[in-house]
Amino acid sequence: MLPTVLLAVFALCAWQVAAHGPLRTFDERLGRAIAGSPFPSPAAEFSADLGNTAVALPVLGVALACTAWRTRGAVRRWWPGPLAAALAMAAVPALVAPLKALLDRPGPPGPLAGETGFFPSGHAATAAVAYGAAAVLLLPLVRARLRGWLIGAVVLLNLAVGVGLVRRAYHWPLDVVGSWCLCGCLLWAVLRVRERSGRRTT
């Protein structure tokens, strides 16, 4: 059910972007307002940089290594979850790059003005999958009372990345929302694989 809803929202966003619909008009008005907000520019730049592969991929790599180290000797089928997370990360450029080229959306006024191919956001997608998949893998390894904090931290981190990207005029808001919807499906698949492998092990 959840992937269906996420894909429907993504399809709506993509359609509005491609058709220059009213949602795109509102999106661009909102993007300009956020870009001109008093939110500190250095903090926004730092938040946007958290979506770089150079930052996000090592975090996922550490989570993959921790999961393998903690479960390899304890359970027989320790690898499906880490493998699913790695494949989800590899799927990000395979999905995002063709969609960017197909929709060819112009960027907001700012440092990247005049360029095209902004929907969906690659940085937002990288952050969502890298940090989200890391949390999915680490949840069974942390104490139950800390799991809510871990999930909350990942949500806030991705919100910060999205706001930073829009505040620095690297993306429109719908570019970020579209990436979240697309990557939510990938994270759902990682979670299901991890849960099924855990049940089989038990």
Q: Which CATH number fits domain 2-201: 1.10.3120, 1.20.144, 1.10.3470, 1.25.10?
A: 1.20.144
Domain boundaries, the chain: 2-201
3-class state of residue 38 by DSSP: coil
Q: pTM for this one?
A: 0.93
* Residue-level pLDDT at 191: 95
Query: What confidence tens digit (pLDDT) does each residue in 51-89 have?
Result: 999 999 999 999 999 998 887 765 667 788 999 999 999
Q: Which two tokens stand for residue 85?
A: 């997370």
pLDDT confidence band for 202 (50 / 70 / 90): very low
Ramachandran angles phi, psi of 106, nearest 5°: -65, 150
Query: What confidence tens digit (pLDDT) does each residue in 137-174 have?
Result: 999 988 999 999 999 999 999 999 999 999 999 999 99
pLDDT at residue 28 tops 90: yes
* Residue-level pLDDT at 74: 59
pLDDT at residue 132 tops 50: yes
Name residue 150's amino acid. Answer: L
* CA 145 to the chain's CA centroid: 25
- In whole angstroms, how far apart are CA 180 and each of 49, 65, 67, 83, 155? 17, 25, 24, 21, 11
pLDDT at residue 11 tops 60: yes
Closest CA to 105 of 6, 14, 35: 14
Distance, CA of 121 to CA of 113 (rounded, Å): 15
